[in-house]
Amino acid sequence: MVIHKTSYRLTFRDVDSMGILYYARYFFLFEIGRVEWMRDEGFSYRDMEKKMQQSLPVTKADCHYIAPISYDEIAIVRTEIAAWTQTTIRFAHTIHREGQDELCAKGQVELGCLAHGDKRPSAIPQELITILNNQAREKRGRLR
């Protein structure tokens, strides 16, 4: 199981009036982790949209907030594949404060593969399936 790590320094736009990461921004950090995971694995989301005429919209997302992370701290986003089917992918994410092993948040994001033309579910591109086969901890796991 490969866990991808991405770092992000919190700015004023990321925090609430108390200087703590605003709850919706955790999903932004999950997205950064997901996109960087794909990029590091050699998969171009841009090519998927432009050349393959497919996209991966979020169909389900959850986040469990455990400890606050504050302005100017560096968040470490750990991303890995949790499961997938022919048309969906589920990523698992954790957020930690840099330099500490303290877990600040954990969550999962499920994406569905969508064909641009008819806006219907579509099979995940074979190029991405190959990457999933190499990286996933659950082979063709069922999403629950």
Residue 47: predicted pLDDT = 84
**Whether residue 14 lies in the annotated active site:** no
Number of structural domains found in the chain: 1
Q: Which residue intervals of the chain are DSSP H helices? A: 25-40, 45-50, 126-135
State the Cα–Cα distance between residues 17 and 30, nearest whole angstrom: 22
Residue 142: predicted pLDDT = 45
Q: Is residue 130 part of a domain?
A: yes
Q: Is residue 143 part of a domain?
A: no
Q: Which CATH number characterizes residue 28's domain? A: 3.10.129.10
Residue 144: predicted pLDDT = 42
Q: Is residue 140 part of a domain?
A: no
State the Cα–Cα distance between residues 10 and 68, nearest whole angstrom: 12
Tell me which of 16, 47, 62, 72 is the catalytic residue: 16
* Pick from 140, 136, 133: nearest CA to 91: 136
Q: Is residue 141 part of a domain?
A: no
Q: Could you list the residue range(s) of the whole structural domain that residue 94 is in?
A: 4-135
Q: Is residue 68 part of a domain?
A: yes
Q: Is residue 103 part of a domain?
A: yes
Residue 136: predicted pLDDT = 59
State the Cα–Cα distance between residues 97 and 66, nearest whole angstrom: 12
Buried b / exposed e across 1-17, counting CB within 10 Å, b at 16+? Answer: eeebebebebeeebbee
- Digit-by-digit pLDDT tens for the chain (144 residues) are 578 999 999 999 999 999 999 999 999 999 999 999 999 988 888 888 888 899 999 999 999 999 999 999 999 999 999 989 999 999 999 999 999 888 999 999 999 999 988 899 999 998 888 888 877 554 544 444
Buried b / exposed e across 89-114, counting CB within 10 Å, b at 16+? Answer: bbbbbbbbbeeeeeebbbbbbbbbbb
